[in-house]
Amino acid sequence: MKLYNTLTRQKDEFVPVEPGKVGIYTCGPTVYMFAHVGNFRAYVFSDTLRRVMDYLGYQVKHVMNVTDVGHLTSDEDTGEDKLEKGARQEGKTPQEIARFYEKVFFDDAARLNILTPHIVCRATDHIPDMIELVRRIEANGFAYRTSVGLIFDTGKYPEYAALSRLNLAEQQAGARTTVDPERRNPSDFALWITNQPKHLMQWDSPWGRGFPGWHLECSAMSIKYLGERFDIHTGGIDHVPVHHTNERAQNFAATGKEVVVRWMHNAFLVINDTRMGKSEGNLVTISELEKLGVAPLDFRYLCHTALYRMPLSYTAESLKSARNSLRGLVDFGRNAQVWPVKDPAWTEPFQREFKEAVADDLNIPQALAAAWNIVREGNQRQDRTAWAALLDFDRVLGLGLERLVGATPGIPDQVAELVAAREAARKSKDWAESDRLRDRIGELGFVVEDTPQGARVKPRP
Ligand code: AMP
Ligand code: ZN
């Protein structure tokens, strides 16, 4: 399998750290408001990656954090904690805000058939792990104190800009707009923030009472659950220049190693070429999508129509087309229920095409093309083998086709053959034979309904 690596800017062969296994860490939500469908593009991507790895036979361990402290409204270690701001605005405690939006996030994710990561870890449950990591960073000489707290010295890490590939001038311009005279380098960032008496969530630490910098939680929890060298770290491309660059610097400072082998980033969901985002003021949530008559899984289908590294356009037309395509697959699935299995082998070339596509840096659009090839040929052959192949593909696509079709797994072949024979009898207007076959199907515990799309069979209620 080949995967792109943001660090090397190359697509290369995936070689797991431990044979047969893959560890994936995904930057999770900051739970101070509803996630929007742009965020969910990132989580559909990481979920699809996990599913592809599982499909290709790897034993996957997927870890995702929940940010419930330390993410300030500015990347400059200033401003309010996003959780505390949310709490103040809604007249609740930061914990109440965190638990509420965390629940909504996972409910929305479930409606997108995003599998819950094997480990979901909250920042506030891992303060001792973060303090321990900072101790190591400090002991290795990568930190200094200022009136803000304990600061990471990016000047000590010559590789600092390797992930972002920004030159020093760009980095300085991007890193902060105000100059903090106490900092040694413009890109230096806080590991532990003190002297913020108004901050509600505070913990004791060797550097005084305070709270962790945002980047710390991801370093601490990824290392805790996946070890000091793990396979893949995911997130949206906006995380490359600051959050992931700083995570990588912390990892190195603490362990002396390149902890993450491969960084993978999804491109943005865009509206009129502008990123969907809070500051852009163009957010759409999953519930809002549903009010527009678009099901969460239609959106998942939309995500599959673009390569994850390419921007994806959110428009009324693109949503409609995704919805129609998903309906097309479901209608096909419904029709296929009554077909007999004729030749179990004809789908194999398409299955190969599918597997090659997903193993080529997650080329899901190409994988969908393989699915539609099966639909086309399946319609001609009227062979239920097509349905089995689509269900196999759905382990990756996660469209929940089986549930959408309402199919009971395994309508017995005998029943399917009787239904096909009955269709033939109806076509030749042999009504007596058609009724006889319907009775026979009934005796086997199934009912057949005639719809404009053809016969449908389901277990007798
Ligand atoms: P945040 O809660 O802001 O940290 O974002 C959660 C995830 O969503 C991160 O991986 C972001 O990079 C990603 N993200 C934010 N906006 C978009 C967007 N418009 N399209 C795709 N991913 C996004
Ligand atoms: Zn993170």
What's the gap in Å between 346 CA and the centre of ligand 2?
A: 45
What's the gap in Å between 326 CA and the centre of ligand 2?
A: 32
What's the gap in Å between 363 CA and the centre of ligand 1?
A: 21
* Ligand 1, CB cutoff 6 Å, lining residues: 27, 29-30, 38-39, 41-42, 235-236, 238-239, 266, 268-269, 275-277
Residue 54 pLDDT greater than 80, yes or no: yes
Of 237, 266, 295, which marks where a domain is finished? Answer: 266
- Residues, CB within 5 angstroms of ligand 2 (ion): 27, 218
Q: Are strands 189-194 and 210-212 parallel, antiparallel or unpaired?
A: antiparallel
Nearest ligand to the CA of 123 is 2
Closest residue by Cα to residue 336 from 431, 249, 404: 404
Question: Confidence class of residue 81 from pLDDT cuts 50, 70 and 90?
Answer: confident
CB 39 within 8 A of CB 47: no
The end-to-end CA distance of the chain, in Å, is: 46
Question: Confidence class of residue 240 from pLDDT cuts 50, 70 and 90?
Answer: very high
**What does the mean pLDDT of the chain come to?**
92
| Nearest Cα residue to atom 12 of ligand 1 | 236
Residue 47 to residue 435: CA distance in whole angstroms: 47
- CATH code for the domain in which residue 326 is found: 1.20.120
334 and 455: one domain?
no
* Ligand 1 atom with minimal separation from the 29 CA: 2
Which of helix, strand or coil describes residue 355? helix
Cβ-count burial 326-351 (b if 16+ within 10 Å, e if not): beebbebbbbbbbbbeeeeebbeebe
What's the gap in Å between 65 CA and the centre of ligand 2?
A: 7
* Ligand 1 atom with minimal separation from the 235 CA: 10
CB 86 within 8 A of CB 68: no
| Nearest Cα residue to atom 15 of ligand 1 | 39
Nearest ligand to the CA of 222 is 2
Question: Confidence class of residue 408 from pLDDT cuts 50, 70 and 90?
Answer: low
* Ligand 1 atom with minimal separation from the 243 CA: 4
* Ligand 1 atom with minimal separation from the 234 CA: 10
For residues 248-259, average pLDDT = 98
Is 281 a domain residue? no
Beta strands in 88-212 (DSSP E): 119-122, 143-145, 149-152, 189-194, 210-212
Residue 221 to residue 217: CA distance in whole angstroms: 6
Of 59-63, 99-103, 201-205, 411-415, give the lowest mean pLDDT range.
411-415
* Ligand 1 atom with minimal separation from the 42 CA: 22
Is 280 a domain residue? no
Residue 340 pLDDT greater than 80, yes or no: yes
What's the gap in Å between 66 CA and the centre of ligand 2?
A: 9
Of 7-11, 211-215, 358-362, give the lowest mean pLDDT range.
211-215
* Ligand 1 atom with minimal separation from the 276 CA: 19
- The dihedral region occupied by 163, where left means phi > 0, alpha psi between -120 and 50, and beta the remainder, is alpha
Which residues constitute the domain of residue 425? 413-459
Question: Confidence class of residue 168 from pLDDT cuts 50, 70 and 90?
Answer: low
* Ligand 1 atom with minimal separation from the 312 CA: 20
325 and 207: one domain?
no
Closest residue by Cα to residue 337 from 200, 249, 217, 457: 457
Is 452 a domain residue? yes
115 and 228: one domain?
yes
Helices (H) and strands (E) in the chain, counts: 16, 16
Beta strands in 83-158 (DSSP E): 119-122, 143-145, 149-152
CB 207 within 8 A of CB 150: yes
309 and 244: one domain?
no
217 and 334: one domain?
no
What's the gap in Å between 214 CA and the centre of ligand 2?
A: 8
Question: Confidence class of residue 457 from pLDDT cuts 50, 70 and 90?
Answer: confident
The preferred substitution site among 25, 34, 39 for testing ligand 1, maximizing ligand atoms within 8 Å of CB, is: 39
DSSP string, 217-263: HHHHHHHHHH-SSEEEEEEEGGGIIIIIHHHHHHHHHHHSS--EEEE
Q: Compute φ and ψ for 328, nearest 5 degrees.
A: -60, -45
Residue 173 pLDDT greater than 80, yes or no: no
435 and 381: one domain?
no
* Ligand 1 atom with minimal separation from the 39 CA: 8
Location of structure tokens 């596509």: 357
Is 91 a domain residue? yes
What's the gap in Å between 236 CA and the centre of ligand 1?
A: 5
User: What is the number of structural domains in the chain?
Assistant: 3
- CATH code for the domain in which residue 156 is found: 3.40.50.620
The preferred substitution site among 238, 263, 276 for testing ligand 1, maximizing ligand atoms within 8 Å of CB, is: 238
CB 411 within 8 A of CB 364: no
Residue 417 pLDDT greater than 90, yes or no: no
Residue 203 pLDDT greater than 80, yes or no: yes
437 and 401: one domain?
no
Report residue 441 as tokens.
């199907």
What's the gap in Å between 233 CA and the centre of ligand 2?
A: 9
Location of structure tokens 């009136």: 147
Nearest ligand to the CA of 236 is 1
Residue 215 to residue 181: CA distance in whole angstroms: 22
Q: Are strands 59-66 and 21-26 parallel, antiparallel or unpaired?
A: parallel
321: CB partners within 8 A, 6+ apart: none
For residues 118-146, average pLDDT = 97
Residue 190 to residue 75: CA distance in whole angstroms: 10
Q: Compute φ and ψ for 439, nearest 5 degrees.
A: -60, -45
| Nearest Cα residue to atom 9 of ligand 1 | 236
| Nearest Cα residue to atom 20 of ligand 1 | 268
Report residue 404 as tokens.
């959408």
| Nearest Cα residue to atom 18 of ligand 1 | 38
Location of structure tokens 């076959």: 437
Q: Are strands 454-459 and 189-194 parallel, antiparallel or unpaired?
A: unpaired
What's the gap in Å between 367 CA and the centre of ligand 2?
A: 29
Residue 48 to residue 52: CA distance in whole angstroms: 6
Nearest ligand to the CA of 25 is 2
Cβ-count burial 3-39 (b if 16+ within 10 Å, e if not): bbbbbeeeeeebebeeeeebbbbbbbbbbbbbbbbbb
140 and 173: one domain?
yes
Question: Confidence class of residue 406 from pLDDT cuts 50, 70 and 90?
Answer: confident
Question: How far are the Cα atoms of 263, 307, 364 from residue 360, in angstroms, in the given order?
Answer: 16, 11, 9
What's the gap in Å between 254 CA and the centre of ligand 1?
A: 27
400 and 435: one domain?
no
What's the gap in Å between 107 CA and the centre of ligand 1?
A: 18
388 and 427: one domain?
no
303 and 364: one domain?
yes
Amino acid of residue 379: N
Residue 157, burial from CB neighbour count under 10 angstroms (0-12, 13-18, 19+): middle
394 and 442: one domain?
no
pLDDT tens across 418-454, in order?
988 998 999 899 999 999 999 999 988 888 888 776 7
